[in-house]
Amino acid sequence: MKPRREGDEEEEELWANSPKKDSLLRLIKIVTGVVVFMAGTVLGLSWGVRFHRHISQTDIFFPTELYTKDCGKVNLKLKNFIEPCHLMHGMTDKELFWRASLVSKIKEHPFNRVPKVAFMFMTEGPLPFFPLWDKFFKGHQGLFTVYVHTYPGYTLKVPETSFFYDRQIPSEKTKWGSISLVDARKRLLANALLDLSNERFVLLSESCIPVFNFPTVYNYLIDSAYSFVQSYDENPIQGQGYYDSHMAPEINHSQWRKGTPWFEVQRSLAVNIVADNKYYSIFRKYCKTTCHSDDSYIPTYLNMLDGILNANRTVIWADWSMRGSHPATYGHEDITEGIIQSIRNNGTICRYNSKPSSVCFLFAMKFSPDALEPLLNLTSTVMKF
């Protein structure tokens, strides 16, 4: 304890009702007032600066980074608004989702709109199959766009000639089984929506490959009346639902759906997914641990609102015969003409635009990086690209 100085009490007593105390108090008040005022001014100014920078940098309608950076001389023209020439921007998810979900009420476009397929890749790091994809994309420029969500700070190592070059979007950390995987999907969709010509949106992983050539894939998707989001009532692999009754009454158990997290959606559904906050917040709050929101949120949400536009099946083939929580992985030794042929057509008949079709899968997973070389060997004979 601090030893009390003799006379302290005396001093206090003396000050109790002396004019000296009054003036000192007044002085303290003034000083405090000035300090508070200055702190307020500084805070206010810095907030104002931040607010100001925020608005002018992001612009929301016309983020400078998206539309002017590295775009050469042309900048704030309609052409650049239709198709941002740069993918990096400073928008937060909130700003991005708001911006990306804006839809014109006029259905006809004031420009010649050639619909494109947005290929959205989600990876922690490298994309081992980029040479295969590059071969797939080659010669079809103008009909597709590529977006890559990686681990934040990771720089994709691809040559400048690759279609993956400079196609990374602002990314955030993701964790298996957590809502951050839904956030990453919404972020990919939102960034791809900024290109007004993107009509179909495919989500793929780093272990996915195409099994048909580009024209087949493009026509299949562009001409489809339905989106391809796998959706079923319960998970036959896990054998139990992960529905949490707290989600009622907004989402009842009978409305709960599951499906593979790798999907394909048309533009109107992509907008709705990005725009949704109601169901998203319920999932964020109640879909935890054993409930994987990345394979239930989108199927459930579409089932509630846009089910009629969903084919309820996936176009991304995966081998679930191992009955684990992950599909089987195919490596170098497994790659044969036969396996790719059987993915292209294994005798299964599915429905395409309400008619029976033998082409059910356009892409396949999972393949390990060492499968690249034999796969490149099969492109011209089997995949026809």
Q: Is 347 in the site for ligand NAG (CB under 6 A)?
A: yes
Is residue 121 within 8 A of residue 202, CB to CB? The reply is no
**Residue 103 or 248: which CB sits closer to ligand NAG?**
248
Residue 121's SS3 state is strand
Q: Scanning residues 199 to 238, which ones bind ligand NAG (CB under 6 A)? A: 226
Give me the residue whose beta carbon is nearest to ligand NAG.
Answer: 307
Q: Scanning residues 351 to 380, which ones bind ligand NAG (CB under 6 A)? A: 373-374, 377
Look at the block and give the residue holding tokens 């459930």.
300
Q: Is 311 in the site for ligand NAG (CB under 6 A)?
A: yes
**Residue 11 or 373: which CB sits closer to ligand NAG?**
373
Q: Is 18 in the site for ligand NAG (CB under 6 A)?
A: no
**Residue 18 or 346: which CB sits closer to ligand NAG?**
346
Shortest distance in whole angstroms from residue 365 CB to ligand NAG: 11
Shortest distance in whole angstroms from residue 300 CB to ligand NAG: 9
Q: Where are the alpha helices (DSSP H) in 59-176?
A: 64-67, 78-82, 93-100, 130-137
Q: DSSP per residue over 214-254, as a string? A: HHHHHHHHHT-SSBB---BSS-TTT-S----GGGTTTS-GG
Q: Is 16 in the site for ligand NAG (CB under 6 A)?
A: no
Stretch that binds ligand NAG, among 116-124, 189-197, 213-221, 244-252 (CB under 6 A): 244-252
Look at the block and give the residue holding tokens 């790091």.
125
Q: DSSP per residue over 27-74, as a string? A: HHHHHHHHHHHHHHHHHHHHHHHHHHHHHHHH-SSS-HHHHTTTS-S-
Shortest distance in whole angstroms from residue 311 CB to ligand NAG: 5
* Nearest Cα residue to 290 out of 340, 244, 323: 244
Please write down the long-range contacts of 105-114, taking CB distance under 8 Å and 24 or more positions apart. Answer: 109/196, 110/78, 111/78, 111/79, 111/82, 113/196, 113/197, 114/142, 114/143, 114/197
Interaction mask 264-303, ligand NAG, x per CB under 6 A: ---------------------------------------x
**Residue 88 or 304: which CB sits closer to ligand NAG?**
304
Q: Using the rule CB under 6 A, which residue among 18, 268, 346, 358 binds ligand NAG?
A: 346
Site size with ligand NAG, rule: CB under 6 A: 18
How far apart (Å, rounded) are the C-alpha atoms in residues 20 and 16?
A: 9
Residues near ligand NAG, by CB under 6 A: 226, 248-250, 252, 303, 307-308, 310-312, 317, 346-348, 373-374, 377
